[in-house]
Structure 1
Amino acid sequence: MREYDVELPTHIVRVLEWGPEDGPLIVALHGFPDTALTWRRVAPLLADAGWRVAAPYLRGYAPSGIPTDRDYSVRALVADAVAFHALLGGDERTVLLGHDWGAITTNAVAADPASPYAKHVALAVPPLSAMHGWDPALLRQPLHSWYIAYNQVPGLAERSFAWLTARLWRLWSPGYDAAEDLAHLRESVPDRAHAKAVVSYYRAMLGPGIKPALADPVHPLLVLHGEEDRCMEVGLARLAGATPVPGAGHFLQLERPEAVAEKVIGFLA
């Protein structure tokens, strides 16, 4: 694994990279509450297939900087993702891969006719616009989404960040041991300033910057969803046509890396 920094207009971004330096590029975006190291099990498998996987720490997650514009909207995340294509040496083959908030961003980029990416892969969060129809999951989902309201309360999530994030990992991927991931998260969110940045993704959901996440994808998009996910109901993922991954919860790239890599490689082929 290699590490280096690239520069966006608002902050410095730390990038982790696996695979041959001359391989076609996959830009891999992590989610909440997580870090770029969420790809440490899938990326080597993609690298074995010849891909170069570059995983940036998203805005607000150390060692990347806190952006000077304090903008954590989907619109800002999409702008970052588009900029990564050029900054990381992308070409006409380059793929965008995202999990959780990274998936929300990926879905929004896939909805942009000007997306520079050849293909897009979203894990754990299907396009919001694709959830058509009825499923009992629509009634159950609010029970899982309490943390979104929790994160809106000024100061609350920042003060209780360690408790909140440990609870979410335990709830979202039952039976998965997240000790290593939580240790990485503590390094990436070491204080209240970073915690405020990270939970501000949810506070920005209430503003106009959420609009890119509501559009229909127009580019090739693969959606994968863990069959044991307790963050987003599996029934909602089915409504969106997601491909199920058996034996995995919300963090499927960590729980079932071989299965995820196999499906991604098959889609890219």
Structure 2
Amino acid sequence: MGIPRLSANRGEALMQSEPTAALRHRTVEAPAGRLHLVEQGTGPLVLLVHGFPESWYSWRRQLPALAAAGYRAVAIDVRGYGRSSKPAATDAYRMLDLVEDNVAVVRALGEESAVIVGHDWGSTIAAASALLHPEIVRAVGLLSVPYAPPGGPRPSDVFGRIGGPEQEFYVSYFQEPGRAETEIEPDVRSWLAGFYAALSADTMPAHDEPDPHFVAPGCRLRDHFPAGPLPAWLTEDDLDVYAGEFERTGLTGALNRYRNMDRDWEDLAPHHGAPITQPALFIGGALDASTTWMADAIDAYSTTLPALSASHLLDGCGHWVQQERPDEVNSLLTDWLASVHS
């Protein structure tokens, strides 16, 4: 297929070195153009959707565990990432399009329905898929980012007020095309290392240190990243896989997700306040800003996720839950999936 060798093939080699590995790489047609996916196992379909800045490889510890538990585990490269197509238009990364990509994958795999599990932005994409296509999504697993129904103030207005005049919130910093790319792309590997460390439980800054979610005037986001060793969950080889992919593709496709939040707000207005009624699971890190900033969303789950099976906050865990705590997450996922399919 003419796929460049380096990060993607290195990731495959790292996975295939495990005794239980039997990964199958393929591409399928989707509204994005082509979507790359990696699958393992047979049985009911579980679709795994990554967040920023990751790839299918962020599910490397879940694929074999789900396969061993009797599921067809499929991890995709979201449009704009990895080996998937990268549309040029900024508005090609709106939520409605990403949802239709998920639907296309389910159908391309010859399935009528799937459980979708997402992390970070993938959690939001999984939730929107369940909301918009209940006939396709039979259950939804949300990791790190809680479900908050569509509605409320315009996102750009909200994020513009966070931090005040002395510092800029990272979501606002990501809005201008090319701005964050200019910071990241000259040295992708070290930027990723710092970003992963900033949100990991064992390497994140202390409470009295600068918050890595904010940019001071005239500075860069990375200026608040911690300096030091990689987090325990991330090996040098793992970092090479991630860095190699973004060095090849650039960051624009990934960052364009942030640049569509106001469009999503408009597109999803008809679903203002809508609950997700399918069986659901939430797993977050107790030290993750996503779970503390959105504590009210978690508290509202009895209304917004009425079929929620369980909500778990993992003590001593940061943002990258399925990579920081793979065994615990795998156990929670497989127990929940067994209840969904019983």
Interval of TM-score (by shorter of Structure 1 and Structure 2): 0.7 to 0.9
Correspondence for 1:137: none
Comparing 227-236 with 80-89, which one deviates more in the overlay?
227-236
Distance verdict in 2 for CA 1:60–1:130, change over 3 Å = closer
Opposite residue 95 of structure 2, the aligned amino acid is V
Distance verdict in 2 for CA 1:38–1:208, change over 3 Å = closer
Which of 126, 142, 148 is the matching residue for 1:122?
A: 142
Opposite residue 198 of structure 1, the aligned amino acid is A
Q: How does 1:232-251 map to 2 (within 5 A)?
A: 232-233=291-292, 235-236=295-296, 238-241=298-301, 242-251=311-320
Distance verdict in 2 for CA 1:147–1:99, change over 3 Å = same
Comparing 233-242 with 221-230, which one deviates more in the overlay?
233-242
Opposite residue 53 of structure 2, the aligned amino acid is P
Task: Determine whether 1:254 maps to 2:318.
Answer: no
Write the deviation string for residues 206-245 of structure 1: whole angstroms up to 9, x where unpaired. 2246644964212222111112213442734642443212
* Contact persistence 1:13–1:63 (CA under 8 A): yes
Instruction: Give distance in 2, aligned partners of 1:87 and 1:114.
Output: 18
Distance verdict in 2 for CA 1:250–1:237, change over 3 Å = farther
Correspondence for 2:223: none
Comparing 47-56 with 245-254, which one deviates more in the overlay?
245-254
Instruction: Give distance in 2, aligned partners of 1:43 and 1:145.
Output: 37
Opposite residue 223 of structure 1, the aligned amino acid is F
Q: Percent same amino acid at aligned positions?
A: 30
Structure 1: give runs of 5+ residues left out of the alignment: 132-141
Instruction: Give distance in 2, aligned partners of 1:84 and 1:221.
Output: 21
Correspondence for 2:182: 159
Give the Å deviation of 1:254.
0.7
* Contact persistence 1:172–1:231 (CA under 8 A): no
* Contact persistence 1:228–1:246 (CA under 8 A): yes
Instruction: Give distance in 1, aligned partners of 2:281 and 2:84.
Output: 28
* Normalised TM-score (structure 2): 0.68
Distance verdict in 2 for CA 1:10–1:232, change over 3 Å = same
Instruction: Give distance in 2, aligned partners of 1:47 and 1:247.
Output: 28
* Normalised TM-score (structure 1): 0.84
* Contact persistence 1:11–1:68 (CA under 8 A): no
Correspondence for 1:62: 82
* Relative contact order, higher structure (CA 8 A, sep 6+): 1
Correspondence for 2:27: 5
Which of 220, 226, 230 is the matching residue for 2:279?
A: 220
Moved over 6 A (4+): none
Cα RMSD, aligned residues only: 2.9
Comparing 180-189 with 9-18, which one deviates more in the overlay?
180-189
Comparing 163-172 with 151-160, which one deviates more in the overlay?
163-172
Opposite residue 253 of structure 2, the aligned amino acid is A
Give the Å deviation of 1:17.
1.1
* Larger radius of gyration between Structure 1 and Structure 2: 2
Give the Å deviation of 1:118.
1.4
Instruction: Give distance in 1, aligned partners of 2:76 and 2:89.
Output: 19
Which of 219, 229, 250 is the matching residue for 2:288?
A: 229
Correspondence for 1:207: 263
Instruction: Give distance in 2, aligned partners of 1:79 and 1:40.
Output: 24
Q: How does 1:69-80 map to 2 (within 5 A)?
A: 70=90, 71-80=92-101
Q: Secondary structure at the match of 1:243?
A: strand
Comparing 34-43 with 7-16, which one deviates more in the overlay?
7-16
Task: Determine whether 1:171 maps to 2:193.
Answer: no
Instruction: Give distance in 1, aligned partners of 2:105 and 2:37.
Output: 10
Correspondence for 1:195: 251
Q: How many residues align?
A: 258
Comparing 247-256 with 235-244, which one deviates more in the overlay?
235-244
